[in-house]
Structure 1
Amino acid sequence: MNRTFSERKLVIIAIFIATGLACIGRLYYMQIIDDSYKLDASNEAFRHVTQYPPRGCIFDRNGKLLVTNEAAYDILVVPSQVRDIDTASFCNDLGIKKDDFISGIKKAIVLNTATHPSVFLKEVTPEIYASFEEKMYKYHGFSAQVRTIRKYPMKIAPHLLGYIGEVSKELCARNPKYKEGDYIGISGMEESYESDLGGIKGEKIMMMDAMNREVGEYKNGKYSKPPDPGENLTCTLDAALQAYGEKLMANKAGSIVAIEPATGEILALVSSPEYDPNLLIGSVRAKNYAKLAEDTLTVPLFNRALMAQYPPGSTFKPIEALIGQQEGTLTPQTSYYCPGAFIMGSNVHIACDSRHGSLQLQDAIAKSCNTYFCNVFVAMMNNRSYGSTEEAFEAWRKYVLGFGFGARPDIDLPSALRGNVPAASHYDKTFGEGRWKAGTIAWLGIGQGELEVTPLQLADEAAIIANRGYYITPHVVKGIGTKAGPAKKYTLRHYVPVDEKYFQIVVDGMSDVVSGGTAAASKIPGIIMCGKTGTAQNPYGRDNSLFIAFAPKDTPRIAVSVVVERGGWGADWAAPIASLMIEKYLNGTVKRTDLEQRMMEGNTLNYLLQEKTEPKAFKNSASAEAKRKRSKPNKH
């Protein structure tokens, strides 16, 4: 028995010895072999300094630099180390006031205690920092951290490119990737492609002495992680065309959207009034943003190209012509007589700007006859293959939705709106169920009333007709980093619910619009352009001038929509601007210099300013429009 006890005793001793050796070995490994465990030994011994990656640059389709980076400096402070400072000299060097100095120190203590570094002043420019750096040795407790801020060399396309800003507390709480002080894309491409442009933050581990001063990088940077720069983007924009469009839209409220029909690539996206994107960078961002936001009259921050919603007016007539043909209620030979107005019973009177007499489809498009297209709309509503007006209307609405109206475009930019295509339930509510007929809503056939579209949707309409029945979703990125080509969804064809054979007569009619119709003054020498004017009623002021176009007729390379708010007739402003954009893109130069000068110097913004009210073209005008007298002519 004694022998058994002795054996057990030896086993227990052996276990204790083995355990002790294991612990000693582990401690030796942690303290001697593996230095990484030392990093967590004391928060006072090391400082983890975030290394911010440079954001990716953005280039246009031809390699021109649109967005780049330049150095900026965050001034850091450790409040406990601040002593013997000439406050007046310090404030003068950084261009701040003494109150800013005091509040900055207090804020740093509240946010990160007195013994840890905090951001005292953000995004100091290289010019200011160069002077400050020479004297920094005098300012104990202060240091600098390099950041990058955006720079826009060409000063164009602010609504498309977007801007960056500081992350919100809510986002920091939701996403551990971010912390207060980080910057992300707030709008435009900067927002949509944040995950590509933003890069990945790194970290530098610095050793600190007993006075909490940096004494060097730990292990010469062995455990530091460098930042990964953001990917560069190649966008679809043609910088020269974009800049030209912005000049044409000077002193005007409205937009230009240009698309390459074969690819869906956006060549230009102009929203006017615009602003210099360099206003929203660096330490002056907040001040400049507030100033821009205060302008509630012209709203320069508002992206009209994607968010403004207007009645399409006569630019909708080609869609009506296609729907009627597909339904079998309209042929190219269908003739209607225009006495100067569409009259139905004693209550429906929609004026036309001229007595056109008898017209067939192609001439009706060229002359933009209201009477003709009201009849086209009514013919479908009265189609006996449907059991009721409501059923016929919903079929018509389905066609319209099939062209992309009434739905948010799947563009790779944020904030695009859907427009409005009213449902039968809207008229049941407005007029009473079963108490409205085709004539009650005949204005829809000429693009008025509750129908609303965005400039992007109008440009897509032009691209659909240019392609004879399909579109590729509009997009703004051609390639990310070294990877060429857009996402797959931006290469797919989407066909509209109208057969290809019905498009040619519409194309011919739109060609006649320019060769001898309502836009004859905007003809481009040597280029066959197809277009459609629109003069859309605006319940808040002067009519809006609209135009859609594409060219060349048989091998289209560009499709354009132009909206000039309060511009009056479509032929006065929108059509000439569109034709100049097309001439510039296809020829590289513009020969019609007199027209170019007149468009660039023209000022329609005065009409808006004279109204002394906020612009409402982008607000929902359906209810107001429905109340208007239907006797007002829809001009062209």
Structure 2
Amino acid sequence: MVENRKWVIIGVFCLVGLIYLARLFHLQVLDDTYSLGASKNSIKRVVEIPYRGQIYDRNSKLIVYNTPVYDLYVTPKQVRIPDTTAFCRMMDISQSDFDSIMGIAKNYSPVKPSLFMRQLSKEDFARIQDALVDYRGFEPVISSMRTYPAHTLANALGYVSEISKKQIDEQETPYYRQGDYVGHNGLEEQYEEQLRGRRGVKFMMQNVRGVNKGSWKNGAFDTLAVAGQNLITGIDVEVQRYADSLMVNKVGAVVAVEPSTGEILVSVSAPTYDPNLLSSRFFSKNYRALVKNPYKPLINRPIMASYRPGSTFKLIQALIAQQQGSLFPSTFYGHGGSPMRCHCRGGNTLRGAVTNSCNPYFYNVFRKFIYHNGQPNTFRASATGLQQWHSMVEKFGIGQKLGVDMPSELKGNLPTVNYYDKVYGGELRWKFSNVYSLSIGEGELLISPLKLVNLAATIANRGWYITPHYIKGFGKAGVGIPNEYKVRHETGVDYKYYLPVIDGMRGAVAHGTVTPLANIAGIDLCGKTGTSQNAKFGHKYDHSIFIGFAPMNNPKIAVAVFVENAGWGGVAAASVAALVAERYLKRKTEAKVLEAKVLAANYLPPASQLAKPKPKAPKKDTTRPPDELPKPAPAKPLMTATRPKSVTIVAVSGN
């Protein structure tokens, strides 16, 4: 019995010994965890930043690529500078800048590398490379810089700059570190995850002096960097640059889309800037200058600007009224009984009203719509009719974000029954006479250029649209497009109701409110003009608007143009739109007389005037056409939650 116990005890000790030996073998031979930890003093972890994906236009022309540059890092504890003045002269910086940079580096870590100077070009680095040998503690790291060969699309592309501390703190999945670059605004931000790629890591052996001795364990623990995906856009960069030239000395926007796909062909925000300004080591200086520019070039006007749509909104009124059954193509309205004046003579049917942009006609169309299912001139009927109107207009993408692949899109404003209840202090305290300015796209309506080009595309498609988008694919066309940019959105208006509206739009260009020069042969442009009220300068210079598509049948391009302070939509905006459509369809410009007029036009308000307070509205100018007469500014209570004592909106819109 005792003998058996002895062997049991010996067996237990042997088993424990074997377990310890197996564990030691695992730790010392199989497991590299402790080896890696002990090697930190002799192994350097080098992070490899991948090249960011390039950006192309629809015809495979390069819009954005990467240029190799050098970032200079400094390790404060290792720094040895015999002559600081000579060093500053070599680096082309001041003594105060040097002290500031070194102070920041020391605060970050005396023993870790910190950024000293960013984005040195190959030429700049070659100039200082040999001299750096005399200055210990400085190490160059190859990097890249975004370069924009087309010098266009600044607002749509966005820019790449160093990530902020707030962004680092707020990231859901830890990826970025201090000093990393990240896309800001535009496509660079929207598709950051795809464009940035995946960084790699290399482990390098080094001696006590920090000299590299080659890859550790032949790269067994290295991970390769993966370059970002190339983004293919729907932009036609040739037409884009042409549109840029047409908007020189102008404030506004030009947006064009392909109706059948929703792909954005042109996206101009004027005035703009060269995107290369925000892609250099002088980023901060250039950015501050752009922020201080009184014309606000950093605003992406196609998606961020909000304007009253003016007479272009009459197209929606005509479509939804036909669908409701309160309007027919043969419906005739004269000018009698309307508080709105008009430049056209006599009455019109629907086609003529669109061609001539007749204000009294659409006043009556809107009035009939509101009271179609109720007793005229009653509070309850006004609310019921407006609710139906809002629901039908909303299906055109108005009053909401369309969902374009771009950050910072604004939804604009489409007033609701609740809005007017709040303004007037109750649901039975307002009626049609308080809101009829909506009939011609004025009042509380606010729409972006993107929404108006989407309206043009919807009419071109005879009743549906695909959400406008910049992406055409990753790597090649058609690959990786989000599903939301493949879905057709129906407006709920039947195909047949678009036909008389389109006839009127063609008439507007051929013999209506559009300047004859814009009726360019061979493109069959259909359009609608608008003149949006501009209270900022006392209505002296209203905003010029035009939306349209071409050709009339099987449309290839839809376009919307806003030119601020330019007056009638049939001149400034329509001329730009016609030239853009011609260049896209014909790949050349034949309307040289019109082009010369547009290029010579200057609608920029004086910079000094932009900083001044808004002037009071001038007295009625009887020398202007009746439909261009300025409207008195709405009474202040309209913008408050209290009921006004008496409010009458006299709305006048032009072509």
Q: TM-score, normalised by structure 2?
A: 0.90
- What residue is the counterpart of 1:408 in the other structure? 401
Structure 1: tracts of 5 or more residues without a match: 344-348
The answer to whether the Cα contact below 8 Å between 1:450 and 1:622 also exists between their aligned partners in 2 is no
Which of 161, 164, 167 in structure 2 is aligned with 1:171?
A: 167
Alpha-carbon distance in structure 1 between the residues aligned to 2:572 and 2:560: 12
SS at structure 1 position matched to 2:544: strand
Worse-matched range after superposition: 78-87 or 435-444: 78-87
Residues 483/579 of structure 1: CA separation in 2 closer, same or farther (3 Å cut): closer
Q: Which amino acid aligns with 1:136?
A: L
After TM superposition, list the pairs within 5 Å mapping 1:200-239 onto structure 2: 200-239=198-237
Alpha-carbon distance in structure 2 between the residues aligned to 1:107 and 1:608: 39
Alpha-carbon distance in structure 1 between the residues aligned to 2:634 and 2:155: 27
Alpha-carbon distance in structure 1 between the residues aligned to 2:225 and 2:400: 40
- What residue is the counterpart of 1:57 in the other structure? 54
The answer to whether the Cα contact below 8 Å between 1:122 and 1:283 also exists between their aligned partners in 2 is yes
Alpha-carbon distance in structure 2 between the residues aligned to 1:412 and 1:384: 40
Residues 171/623 of structure 1: CA separation in 2 closer, same or farther (3 Å cut): farther
Residues 527/117 of structure 1: CA separation in 2 closer, same or farther (3 Å cut): closer
Alpha-carbon distance in structure 1 between the residues aligned to 2:464 and 2:555: 13
Which of 286, 289, 293 in structure 1 is aligned with 2:287?
A: 289
Alpha-carbon distance in structure 2 between the residues aligned to 1:622 and 1:357: 29
Alpha-carbon distance in structure 2 between the residues aligned to 1:337 and 1:615: 37
Residues 379/54 of structure 1: CA separation in 2 closer, same or farther (3 Å cut): same
Q: Which amino acid aligns with 2:386?
A: F
Whether 2:340 is the aligned partner of 1:350: answer yes
Residues 259-309 of structure 1, C-alpha deviation per residue, up to 9 Å, x if partnerless? 1001100000000010000000121111111110112x2100001110110
Report deviation, 1:558.
0.3
Which of 140, 150, 154 in structure 1 is aligned with 2:150?
A: 154
- What residue is the counterpart of 1:143 in the other structure? 139
SS at structure 2 position matched to 1:283: coil
Residues 59-110 of structure 1, C-alpha deviation per residue, up to 9 Å, x if partnerless? 0000100000011211112222222533223222222122222332332222
The answer to whether the Cα contact below 8 Å between 1:70 and 1:151 also exists between their aligned partners in 2 is yes
Report deviation, 1:359.
1.2
Residues 442-496 of structure 1, C-alpha deviation per residue, up to 9 Å, x if partnerless? 1111000001100000000000000000001101011112473422221211110
SS at structure 2 position matched to 1:606: coil
Worse-matched range after superposition: 140-149 or 19-28: 19-28
Which of 241, 244, 262 in structure 1 is aligned with 2:242?
A: 244
Residues 285/407 of structure 1: CA separation in 2 closer, same or farther (3 Å cut): same
Residues 274/613 of structure 1: CA separation in 2 closer, same or farther (3 Å cut): farther
Alpha-carbon distance in structure 2 between the residues aligned to 1:211 and 1:581: 63
Q: TM-score, normalised by structure 1?
A: 0.93
- What residue is the counterpart of 1:346 in the other structure? none
Residues 461/482 of structure 1: CA separation in 2 closer, same or farther (3 Å cut): closer
After TM superposition, list the pairs within 5 Å mapping 1:31-430 onto structure 2: 37-112=34-109, 114-175=110-171, 176-295=174-293, 297-339=294-336, 343=338, 349-354=339-344, 356-384=345-373, 388-430=381-423
- What residue is the counterpart of 2:490 in the other structure? 495
Residues 492-525 of structure 1, C-alpha deviation per residue, up to 9 Å, x if partnerless? 1111021111110000000100110001421011
Report deviation, 1:612.
3.8
Q: Which amino acid aligns with 1:276?
A: D
Q: Which amino acid aligns with 1:635?
A: G
Alpha-carbon distance in structure 2 between the residues aligned to 1:263 and 1:329: 32
Which of 514, 522, 526 in structure 2 is aligned with 1:519?
A: 514
- What residue is the counterpart of 1:596 in the other structure? 595
Alpha-carbon distance in structure 1 between the residues aligned to 2:594 and 2:442: 30
Worse-matched range after superposition: 414-423 or 484-493: 484-493
The answer to whether the Cα contact below 8 Å between 1:85 and 1:140 also exists between their aligned partners in 2 is no
Alpha-carbon distance in structure 2 between the residues aligned to 1:493 and 1:607: 44
Q: Which amino acid aligns with 1:25?
A: F
Alpha-carbon distance in structure 1 between the residues aligned to 2:613 and 2:47: 45
The answer to whether the Cα contact below 8 Å between 1:539 and 1:625 also exists between their aligned partners in 2 is no
- What residue is the counterpart of 2:433 in the other structure? 439
Whether 2:507 is the aligned partner of 1:509: answer no
Q: Which amino acid aligns with 1:174?
A: E
Whether 2:632 is the aligned partner of 1:633: answer no
The answer to whether the Cα contact below 8 Å between 2:42 and 2:206 also exists between their aligned partners in 1 is yes
Alpha-carbon distance in structure 2 between the residues aligned to 1:281 and 1:615: 36
The answer to whether the Cα contact below 8 Å between 1:298 and 1:614 also exists between their aligned partners in 2 is no
The answer to whether the Cα contact below 8 Å between 2:437 and 2:650 also exists between their aligned partners in 1 is no
Alpha-carbon distance in structure 2 between the residues aligned to 1:110 and 1:215: 30
Report deviation, 1:632.
6.0
- What residue is the counterpart of 2:455 in the other structure? 461
SS at structure 2 position matched to 1:148: strand
Report deviation, 1:369.
0.6
Alpha-carbon distance in structure 1 between the residues aligned to 2:12 and 2:216: 43
Report deviation, 1:389.
1.3
Q: Which amino acid aligns with 1:350?
A: M
The answer to whether the Cα contact below 8 Å between 2:433 and 2:648 also exists between their aligned partners in 1 is no
Alpha-carbon distance in structure 2 between the residues aligned to 1:54 and 1:543: 47
Instruction: Determine what percentage of the aligned residue pairs are the same residue.
Output: 39
Residues 482/334 of structure 1: CA separation in 2 closer, same or farther (3 Å cut): closer
- What residue is the counterpart of 1:552 in the other structure? 551
Residues 176-224 of structure 1, C-alpha deviation per residue, up to 9 Å, x if partnerless? 1111111111111100100110001111222232244444332343322
SS at structure 1 position matched to 2:64: strand
Q: Which amino acid aligns with 1:566?
A: N
Alpha-carbon distance in structure 2 between the residues aligned to 1:498 and 1:439: 27
Report deviation, 1:614.
8.5
Which of 524, 529, 534 in structure 1 is aligned with 2:525?
A: 529
Report deviation, 1:608.
6.7
Q: How many residues align?
A: 619
Residues 609/398 of structure 1: CA separation in 2 closer, same or farther (3 Å cut): farther
Alpha-carbon distance in structure 1 between the residues aligned to 2:157 and 2:144: 17
Residues 221/137 of structure 1: CA separation in 2 closer, same or farther (3 Å cut): farther
SS at structure 1 position matched to 2:561: strand
Alpha-carbon distance in structure 1 between the residues aligned to 2:390 and 2:68: 54
- What residue is the counterpart of 1:579 in the other structure? 578
SS at structure 1 position matched to 2:578: helix
Report deviation, 1:615.
10
The answer to whether the Cα contact below 8 Å between 1:298 and 1:615 also exists between their aligned partners in 2 is no
The answer to whether the Cα contact below 8 Å between 1:73 and 1:146 also exists between their aligned partners in 2 is yes
Q: Which amino acid aligns with 2:342?
A: C
